[in-house]
């Protein structure tokens, strides 16, 4: 049964007194160069996000966006295509008048990323655009391109002398995945380090910009009633779930090479774990926070060789039904090999070997074609040490649970026991529910764009943290891939909660997954 279904009364929470230091800080002038301006990411996410910031008054007056790609477009072509993309992705903010003002800031430079002449053309054109829009020499390179092209573009920018800072800032934004294993991650970091300093590099994981992910640190360290019980003495275990109802969709080319561990665990899930497990930083500053997150990654116990099955379960979705409609198995999706062993589901048990969390298991799971779309962190507290009601109650009393909901309905749930009215000895589990109001605010992409322009790296991944996550996962991935094809990959029907084998990770200790 879904925990929400067995709750009797419900208590709602609301904001009583917002503090004055609120609101969205406005960034200064800048020019953003978008590599891969004709691609899906730029059309669906990036340009619509920049436009929404502009339409809602969060962009500086002086800004420019320069798209680059191989298509033989000019400025007019690019503006027309971006107008169509914005109208589709941000219809609530679109108006012809706003678009006309926004479009004056859009430009296009055509070229192939492997061609030195392209970087020469780009270098020659940018100063005129930046002077016209008075961007103060501030420049951001946004890599909306396949990860396999990152090193090529970074090298081109460095050799053309376009990575240095001269009067303003120069920053580069790259999206996950940052490599596909420890070796390729090292190689990408080395290539970036030749042309850019670490302070110029913004490794983006958009999950970190989700409202309730940002709220984790505030919730933990601004409320004295929670931090004293946020440790092994009171916490039984932690469950971190990111489930998707979608299948592989149009991403088969990427997903066949990545799989769920590279796609979700190396970035999203381990980042969420670090925020839950980290110690309080000495100050709420980007590097102090990232120092503590890296310490968590360093403290994660390596999965013992030869005991992988006791810590990790992977699976692949088969045919099934979603919302009453039949959907195909992963191997029957367009672009997927008929004998593919790419996992679309994984569950993992990890331990953080430090004073705070010694012995507390962290259970991570993520999968496609799950019953519902959700991202949540559940802190399961230990049962009371002596249950004096055991003799008069027929049913088991559930321990307290704190759930941080990341998506789709961001908020916080607290489950606790109360006496049922008019009864002598009867308990009801109560849900205290806080939900963020559905007001207009920044989405994840808009938040990271603003922070990049402001120079705030709090929500971006640092090189040492990136390396540590790959150190954790690369041995696991290599062991799984070494036996691919020799053993049958567990299957789960689309629309189910994953393979039955995943239940054993918790059942050995008398635990169970939260229902989806």
Query: What pLDDT, on a 0 to 100 scale, did the predictor assign at position 400?
Result: 87
| 61-81 tens-digit pLDDT | 899 999 999 999 999 999 999
The answer on pLDDT for 153 being more than 90 is yes
Please choose, from the candidates 381, 394, 45, 139, the residue with its C-alpha nearest in 3D space to the C-alpha of residue 238.
381
* Cα four-point dihedral sign 28, 29, 31, 34: positive
Bond before 273 cis per omega within 30 degrees: no
Question: Quick one: pLDDT at residue 251?
Answer: 84
CA 5 to CA 515: how far, in whole Å?
11
Task: For residue range 405-426, list pLDDT tens digits in order.
Answer: 988 888 899 887 776 665 556 6
Structure tokens at 207: 């999950």
pLDDT confidence of residue 177: 80
For residue 305 the two structure tokens come to 């060789």
C-alpha gyration radius of the chain: 24
Contact (CB, 8 A) for 65 and 50? yes
* pLDDT single digits (tens) 302-339: 999 889 999 999 999 999 999 999 999 999 999 999 99
pLDDT for res 433: 81
Q: Which residues contact 420 (CB under 8 A, 6 or more apart)?
A: 8, 426, 427, 428
Query: Is 43 considered catalytic here?
Result: no
Residue 456 buriedness (CB in 10 A; 0-12 / 13-18 / 19+): middle
CB 152 within 8 A of CB 112: no
Lowest mean pLDDT among 15-29, 285-299, 443-457: 15-29
CB within 8 Å of 462: residues ≥ 6 apart: 198, 203, 287, 290, 294
pLDDT digits (tens, 9 = 90+) for 453-495: 999 998 899 999 999 999 999 999 999 998 887 778 889 999 9
Residue 102 pLDDT greater than 70, yes or no: yes
What are 326's strand-pairing partners?
Answer: 321
pLDDT of residue 421: 60
SS3 346: strand
pLDDT at 1 over 50: no
Residue 152's pLDDT band (cuts 50, 70, 90): very high
Tokens of 384: 């009371």
CA distance 494 to 491: 9
| Chain centroid, CA 305 distance in Å | 29
Q: Enter the DSSP assignment of 147.
A: G
Q: What is the pLDDT of residues 8-46, one digit of tens each?
A: 455 565 555 554 445 678 899 999 999 999 998 899 999
Compute the distance between CA of residue 210 and CA of residue 465 in angstroms, rounded to an integer: 19
CB 317 within 8 A of CB 345: yes
pLDDT tens per residue across span 238-268: 999 999 999 998 888 889 999 999 999 998 9
Counting other chains too, the contacts that 407-413 makes at CB distance below 8 Å and 24 or more residues apart are 407/210, 407/373, 407/374, 407/375, 408/373, 408/374, 409/435, 410/210, 410/211, 410/212, 410/435, 410/436, 411/212, 411/435, 411/436, 412/13, 412/212, 412/215, 412/219, 413/4
Burial (0-12, 13-18, 19+ Cβ within 10 Å), 464: middle
**Residues facing 106 on adjacent strands:** 65
Lowest mean pLDDT among 155-159, 163-167, 416-420: 416-420
455: left (phi over 0), alpha (psi -120 to 50) or beta: left
Helix (H, G, I), strand (E, B) or coil at 146: coil
- The separation between the first and the last C-alpha atoms of the chain, rounded to the nearest angstrom, is 9
pLDDT exceeding 70 applies to what percent of the chain? 90
Sign of the dihedral through C-alpha 224, 230, 234, 237: positive
Contact 25, 453 (CB under 8 A): no
**Predicted pLDDT at 6:** 45
The pLDDT score that the predictor gives to residue 20 is: 47
Residue 3 binned pLDDT confidence (cut-offs 50, 70, 90): very low
DSSP state at residue 70: S
Q: Is the pLDDT of residue 440 over 60?
A: no
Catalytic residue among 43, 206, 237, 268: 268
Query: 48-71: b or e for each residue (b if 16 or more CB lie within 10 Å)?
Result: bbbbbbbbeebbbebbbbbbbbee
Contact by Cβ (8 Å): 187, 151: yes
* CA separation for the pair 397, 416 (Å, rounded): 10
Among residues 69, 21, 30, 81, the alpha carbon closest in space to that of 53 is found at 30
Q: Phi and psi (nearest 5°) for 181?
A: -165, -175
**Region of poorest pLDDT, from 128-137, 215-224, 412-421:** 412-421
Query: What is the pTM assigned to this prediction?
Result: 0.89
Give the mean pLDDT of 165-183.
90
Calculate mean pLDDT across residues 232-239.
97
**Residue corresponding to tokens 């709420």:** 284
CA gap 484, 92 in Å, rounded: 47
What average pLDDT is seen over the chain? 89
C-beta of residue 227 within 8 angstroms of C-beta of residue 219: no
């Amino acid at each position: 049964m879904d925990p929400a279904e067995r709750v009797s009364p419900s208590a709602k929470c609301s904001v009583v007194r917002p503090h004055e230091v609120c609101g969205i800080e406005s960034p200064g002038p800048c020019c953003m160069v978008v590599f891969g301006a004709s691609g899906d990411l730029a059309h669906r996410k990036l340009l619509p996000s920049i436009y929404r910031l502009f339409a809602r008054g969060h962009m500086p007056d002086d800004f420019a966006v320069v798209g680059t790609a191989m298509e033989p477009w000019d400025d007019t072509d690019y503006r027309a295509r971006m107008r169509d993309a914005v109208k589709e992705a941000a219809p609530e903010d679109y108006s012809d008048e706003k678009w006309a003002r926004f479009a004056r800031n859009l430009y296009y430079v055509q070229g192939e990323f492997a061609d030195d002449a392209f970087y020469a053309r780009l270098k020659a054109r940018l100063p005129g655009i930046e002077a016209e829009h008075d961007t103060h020499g501030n420049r951001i390179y946004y890599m909306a391109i396949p990860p396999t092209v990152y090193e090529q573009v970074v090298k081109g920018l460095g050799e053309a002398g376009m990575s240095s800072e001269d009067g303003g800032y120069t920053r580069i934004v790259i999206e996950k995945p940052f490599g596909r294993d420890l070796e390729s991650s090292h190689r990408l970091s080395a290539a970036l380090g030749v042309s850019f300093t670490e302070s110029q590099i913004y490794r983006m994981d958009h999950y970190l910009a989700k409202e309730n992910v940002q709220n984790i640190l505030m919730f933990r360290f601004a409320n004295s009633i929670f931090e004293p019980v946020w440790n092994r003495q009171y916490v039984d275990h932690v469950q971190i779930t990111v489930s998707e109802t979608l299948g592989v969709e149009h991403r088969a080319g990427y997903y066949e090479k990545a799989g769920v561990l590279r796609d979700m665990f190396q970035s999203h899930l381990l980042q969420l774990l670090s925020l839950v497990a980290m110690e309080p930083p000495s100050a709420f500053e980007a590097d102090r926070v990232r120092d503590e997150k890296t310490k968590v990654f360093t403290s994660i116990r390596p999965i013992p060789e030869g005991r992988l099955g006791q810590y990790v379960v992977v699976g692949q979705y088969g045919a099934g039904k979603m919302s009453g409609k039949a959907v195909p198995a992963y191997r029957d999706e367009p672009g997927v090999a008929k004998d593919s062993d790419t996992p679309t589901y994984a569950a993992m048990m990890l331990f953080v070997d430090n004073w705070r969390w010694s012995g507390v298991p962290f259970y991570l799971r993520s999968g496609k074609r799950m019953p519902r779309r959700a991202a949540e962190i559940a802190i399961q507290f230990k049962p009371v040490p002596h249950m004096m009601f055991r003799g008069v109650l027929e049913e088991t009393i559930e321990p307290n649970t704190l759930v941080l909901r990341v998506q789709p309905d961001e908020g916080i749930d607290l489950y606790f026991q109360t006496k049922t009215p008019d009864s002598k000895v009867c308990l009801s589990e109560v849900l205290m529910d806080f939900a963020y109001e559905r007001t207009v605010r920044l989405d994840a992409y808009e938040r990271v764009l603003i922070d990049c322009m402001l120079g705030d790296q709090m929500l971006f991944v640092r090189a040492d943290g990136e390396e540590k996550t790959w150190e954790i996962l690369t041995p696991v991935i290599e062991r799984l891939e070494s036996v691919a094809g020799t053993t049958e990959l567990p299957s789960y029907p689309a629309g189910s909660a994953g393979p039955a084998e995943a239940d054993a990770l918790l059942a050995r200790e008398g635990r169970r997954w939260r229902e989806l």
